[in-house]
């Protein structure tokens, strides 16, 4: 049996910043493995991970409040290099004998820092005497630094814009190097992890594959595993990875929720059976899903109902397979972040992803989720590493709750059928225009709003259909896709002509944030 590769790790302690996950992204881009843990679990995570470096995120609180987030001093005594960002800098100063004050002018947006001393943090970026643009977002400011620290950069609003204790390798900045608006921030993070903390960028998809295969074998033993397979990127990659680990102990279960795209069920099962020699059970649960969802309009209630039904179906299917003890799902890191707010951390829940509720106590199944730490683009890279065809790896994401969260308000079989038809036309036009691979995700939303139109000289009073298409790398942030007008025009004409019940088509031009990709 292959031994898991021991790669280097960075612990990111989350103090509730809205951009904490961007720190993780920047490090992953450097081939550095990292995990985000809320400040309340920082010590446990430190002991479990034994990281080579620690990063403190920003956060909404003020260290001048007595009950603001703190960390156990074990984290300082542990001895690994530490990098504090914004609240992270303020915390380091407040905890180690410096001073932080509120009530100065807020500094929000672009600022210039002046480097006052050459530092490995700014190596190759800026030297003493030079300026560097950064992005700031703070109200408090550090007014005195702890003993052993020196100032390495200042700005108008932050006399201690960057500080360092070179002996203990503790560095901290008031600005946010993790955001794109700090143009050379990624290089500063690179300087910290590579040059200061001495990591080597040893985290590759090949290493991850090997490590997960060993981990799955160890977790599962001789037991059988059922894997929820949607035909989407994540579950296809999860299934192939698990199959590599345990071979015929794996059975895949495809659930037709009745909320899939038009003809999706046939396409997925055919494609999967053609490519892989993995047993696949096809469960038609459409009546059950549509039945239980009847009369429900609230988005979170829809999501929770769907999550529960998936689990019930998986439980029933597992009882038909002797020795089935595990349920595998293609859960990703963003699913977890948005549902639970950075691993149970201090930020807000945006929406409950159907696959993140955990399993009820009465169930004997245990979860196998080998992709739970990955972002979408990393899953695609892992898929390519595993030799999956582009037909799987390049597919647009499709959420488990499916069309249920694309029909705001009550879901009826008629509404589902209307949306399926319109959505199929939209995707067909996108493919014909050669734009499928330029778009991260595209879909239609059927609105519970009727408007007046005129068709063939007669008055119509029918529903509005919204089209959505976004570009993104990981679904965490997104921009609306800038279509050539003709494509939208062609799509709208075809939908209104061919789909009864729709007389108006609109295009959604909201980015994420402030919008989310899905409408519910
Ligand atoms: N119709 C389904 N049948 C069985 N399992 C499903 C179904 N839909 C979702 N799942 C399970 O839920 C997980 C999360 O769904 P999600 O949509 O995020 O991933 P995916 O469908 O595998 O990939 P993609 O994000 O590309 O659509 C899936 O990986 C799969 O395990
Ligand atoms: O499997 C899933 N179960 C869910 O409950 C769920 N909710 C959103 N999504 C998908 O996640 C990405 C981000 O979506 P949002 O911007 O709408 O949060 C987009 O790709 C969404 O399609 C889901 N996927
Ligand atoms: N972005 C941050 O981390 C802000 C830190 C602190 N809440 C301040 O306003 O100064
Ligand atoms: Mg999916």
The predicted complex's ipTM stands at 0.89
CATH class for the domain made up of 412-507 = alpha beta
Which of 355, 398, 399, 443 to probe ligand 2 with, by most ligand atoms within 8 A of CB? 399
231 annotated to a ligand binding site? yes
Query: How large is the greatest C-alpha to C-alpha distance in the chain, in angstroms?
Result: 82
Which ligand 2 atom is the nearest neighbour of the CA of 355?
A: 3
Cβ pair 491, 450 in contact under 8 A = no
pLDDT at 333: 82
CATH class for the domain made up of 9-196 = alpha beta
* pLDDT confidence band for 31 (50 / 70 / 90): very high
pLDDT at 3: 43
Nearest by Cα to 9 from 183, 182, 207, 184 = 207
pLDDT higher than 70, residue 340: no
Q: Which ligand is nearest to the CA of 314?
A: 1
**Counting Cβ atoms within 10 Å, is residue 73 exposed (0-12), middle (13-18) or buried (19+)?**
exposed
Instruction: Name the DSSP class of 68.
Output: S
pLDDT at 383: 96
Q: How many residues does the chain have?
A: 520
Q: Is 249 in the pocket of ligand 3 (CB under 6 A)?
A: no
Ligand 2 geometric centre to CA of 413 (Å): 22
Mean pLDDT, rounded, of the chain: 93
Per-state percent for the chain, helix, strand, coil, to nearest 5: 35, 25, 40
Ligand 3 geometric centre to CA of 136 (Å): 9
pLDDT higher than 80, residue 11: yes
In 3-state terms, what secondary structure has residue 17? Answer: coil
pLDDT at 328: 96
Instruction: Name the DSSP class of 249.
Output: G
234 annotated to a ligand binding site? yes
176 given a catalytic annotation: yes
Ligand 3 geometric centre to CA of 133 (Å): 19
Average pLDDT, stretch 323-330?
96
Instruction: Name the DSSP class of 320.
Output: T
CATH code matching the domain that covers 205-393, chosen among 3.40.50.180, 3.40.50.620, 3.30.365.10, 3.40.190.10: 3.40.50.620
What is the residue extent of each domain of the chain? 9-196, 205-393, 412-507
pLDDT higher than 90, residue 350: no
For the stretch 262-271, contacts whose Cβ atoms lie closer than 8 Å and that sit 24 or more positions apart, written own/partner, are 262/420, 262/421, 262/423, 262/424, 263/424, 264/231, 264/398, 267/231, 268/229, 268/230, 268/231, 269/231, 271/231, 271/391, 271/392
Which of 225, 226, 227, 228 to probe ligand 1 with, by most ligand atoms within 8 A of CB? 228
Q: Is 299 in the pocket of ligand 3 (CB under 6 A)?
A: no
Which ligand 1 atom is the nearest neighbour of the CA of 396?
A: 26
Which ligand 2 atom is the nearest neighbour of the CA of 405?
A: 7
Instruction: Name the DSSP class of 512.
Output: B
Which ligand 1 atom is the nearest neighbour of the CA of 330?
A: 29
Which of 340, 404, 517, 519 to probe ligand 2 with, by most ligand atoms within 8 A of CB? 517
Q: Of all protein residues, whose CA lies closest to atom 17 belonging to ligand 1?
A: 399
Q: Of all protein residues, whose CA lies closest to atom 31 belonging to ligand 1?
A: 329
pLDDT higher than 80, residue 142: yes
Which residues' Cβ are closer than 6 Å to ligand 2? Answer: 303, 338, 351, 353-355, 397, 399-401, 441, 475, 512, 516-518
Q: Who has greater pLDDT, 468 or 391? A: 468
pLDDT higher than 60, residue 370: yes
Average pLDDT, stretch 282-309?
96
Q: Of all protein residues, whose CA lies closest to atom 20 belonging to ligand 2?
A: 397
Task: Tell me whether the CATH fold assigned to 9-196 matches the one assigned to 205-393.
Answer: yes
Ligand 1 geometric centre to CA of 442 (Å): 17
Radius of gyration, CA atoms only, the chain:
25
| Structure tokens given for 464 | 């509005």
Ligand 1 geometric centre to CA of 236 (Å): 9
| Phi, psi angle pair for 80, to nearest 5° | -75, 155
Q: Of all protein residues, whose CA lies closest to atom 20 belonging to ligand 1?
A: 232
Q: 89, 132, 178, 187: which is the annotated catalytic residue?
A: 178
Which ligand 1 atom is the nearest neighbour of the CA of 257?
A: 1
252 given a catalytic annotation: no
86 given a catalytic annotation: yes
Average pLDDT, stretch 52-62?
96
Cβ pair 314, 208 in contact under 8 A = no
pLDDT at 1: 36
Q: Is 228 in the pocket of ligand 3 (CB under 6 A)?
A: no
In 3-state terms, what secondary structure has residue 296? Answer: coil
Which ligand 2 atom is the nearest neighbour of the CA of 351?
A: 18
Nearest by Cα to 512 from 351, 403, 377, 286 = 351
| Structure tokens given for 123 | 């190596």
Residues 6+ apart with CB under 8 A from 222: 249, 323
Average pLDDT, stretch 424-428?
98
| Structure tokens given for 164 | 């360092």
Q: Is 60 in the pocket of ligand 3 (CB under 6 A)?
A: yes
Q: Of all protein residues, whose CA lies closest to atom 18 belonging to ligand 1?
A: 399
Q: Who has greater pLDDT, 414 or 106? A: 414
């Amino acid at each position: 049996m292959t031994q898991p590769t021991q790669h280097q790790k960075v612990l990111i302690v989350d103090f509730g910043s809205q951009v904490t996950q961007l720190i993780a992204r920047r490090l992953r881009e450097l081939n550095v493995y990292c995990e985000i843990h809320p400040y309340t679990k920082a010590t446990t995570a430190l002991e479990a991970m034994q990281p080579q470096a620690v990063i403190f995120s920003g956060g909404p609180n003020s260290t001048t409040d007595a009950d603001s987030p703190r960390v156990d001093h074990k984290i300082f005594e542990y001895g690994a290099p530490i990098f504090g960002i914004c609240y992270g800098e303020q915390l380091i100063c407040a905890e180690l004998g410096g001073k932080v004050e509120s009530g100065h002018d807020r500094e929000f947006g672009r600022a210039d820092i002046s480097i006052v001393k050459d530092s490995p943090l700014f190596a190759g970026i800026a030297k003493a005497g030079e300026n560097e643009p950064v992005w700031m977002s703070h109200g408090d400011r550090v007014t005195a630094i702890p003993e052993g620290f020196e100032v390495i950069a200042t700005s108008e609003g932050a006399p201690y814009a960057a500080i360092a204790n070179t002996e203990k390798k503790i560095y901290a900045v008031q600005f946010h190097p993790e955001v794109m608006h700090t143009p050379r921030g990624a290089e500063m993070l690179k300087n910290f992890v590579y040059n200061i903390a001495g990591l080597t960028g040893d985290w590759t998809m090949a290493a991850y594959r090997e490590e997960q295969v060993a981990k799955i074998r160890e977790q599962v033993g001789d037991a059988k595993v059922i894997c929820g397979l949607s035909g989407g990127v994540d579950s296809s990659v999860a299934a192939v990875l698990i199959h590599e680990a345990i071979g015929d102990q794996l059975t895949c279960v495809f659930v037709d929720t009745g909320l899939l795209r038009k003809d999706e069920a046939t396409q997925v099962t055919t494609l999967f059976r053609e490519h892989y020699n993995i047993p696949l059970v096809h469960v038609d649960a459409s009546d059950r899903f549509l039945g239980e969802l009847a009369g429900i309009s609230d988005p979170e209630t829809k999501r929770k109902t769907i999550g529960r039904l998936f689990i019930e179906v998986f439980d029933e299917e597992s009882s038909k397979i002797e020795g089935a003890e595990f349920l595998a799902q293609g859960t990703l890191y963003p699913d977890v972040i948005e549902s639970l707010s950075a691993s149970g951390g201090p930020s807000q829940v945006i929406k409950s992803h159907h696959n993140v509720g955990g399993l009820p106590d009465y169930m004997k199944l245990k979860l196998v989720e080998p992709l739970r730490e990955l972002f979408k683009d990393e899953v695609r890279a892992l898929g390519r590493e595993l030799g999956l065809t582009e037909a799987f790896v390049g597919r647009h994401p499709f959420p488990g709750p499916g069309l249920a969260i694309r029909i705001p308000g009550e879901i009826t079989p008629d509404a589902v059928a209307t949306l399926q038809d319109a959505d199929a036309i939209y995707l067909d036009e996108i493919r014909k225009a050669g734009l499928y691979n330029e778009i991260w995700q595209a879909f239609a939303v059927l609105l519970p709003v009727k408007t007046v139109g005129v068709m063939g000289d007669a008055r119509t009073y029918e529903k509005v259909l919204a089209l959505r298409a976004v570009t993104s790398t990981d679904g965490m942030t997104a921009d609306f896709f800038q279509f050539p007008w003709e494509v939208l025009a062609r799509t709208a004409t075809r939908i209104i002509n061919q789909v009864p019940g729709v007389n108006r088509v609109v295009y959604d031009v909201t980015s994420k944030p402030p919008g989310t990709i899905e409408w519910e």
